[in-house]
Amino acid sequence: MFDELDFQGHIPIYSQLVDRIKRLVATGVLKPGEQLPTVRKMATELRVNLNTIARAYRILDEEGVLSTQQGRGTYVLQPMLPEKGLPPRMAALEGMTKSFLERAYQVGFNPDEVSLLLDELLAAWREDGMPPKSKS
């Protein structure tokens, strides 16, 4: 469930984890009250240091997504509903968007190309109520 990390890209592992878990919580894959893998288990699975996992958990704890307690474990707190927390919500979108644009820029695209394609895909989203399915 968590094993799709990019070790070569420009996004730190802990940051990738934060995004991934946020999404899993937001989409209901991880339900409130559910326990996440322990830092050690997750660390050995992903072959990173346990502190890297702990860092992601701590960030999510501070953001109110998870609740971690020494000796007990890490649990899902609240589903991140669109209604709650507007400023952090927009900040999240901004982060996602910036990192998407940066990636596009780095692999050689220009704003017009991106804009053109986005217009198309956004229109499809408006029509269908959901964005076009991506392969991943």
Partner DNA sequence: CAGGAGACATACAATTAGTACAATAATACA
Partner DNA sequence: TGTATTATTGTACTAATTGTATGTCTCCTG
Give the nearest distance from C-beta 40 to its own copies in angstroms. Answer: 19
The contacts of residue 2 (CB under 8 Å, 6+ apart) are: 17, 20, 21, 37, 42, 45, 46
**Residue 59-88 contact track with its own copies, rule CB under 8 A, x = bound:** --x-xx--xxx-xx--xxxx-xxx------
Place of tokens 């070790």: 7
Residue 10 near DNA by CB under 7 A: yes
Nearest residue to 66 via CA among 99, 89, 35? 35
Residue 99 near DNA by CB under 7 A: no
Which listed residue (29, 32, 41, 116) binds DNA by CB under 7 A? Answer: 41
Which listed residue (30, 55, 65, 92) binds DNA by CB under 7 A? Answer: 55
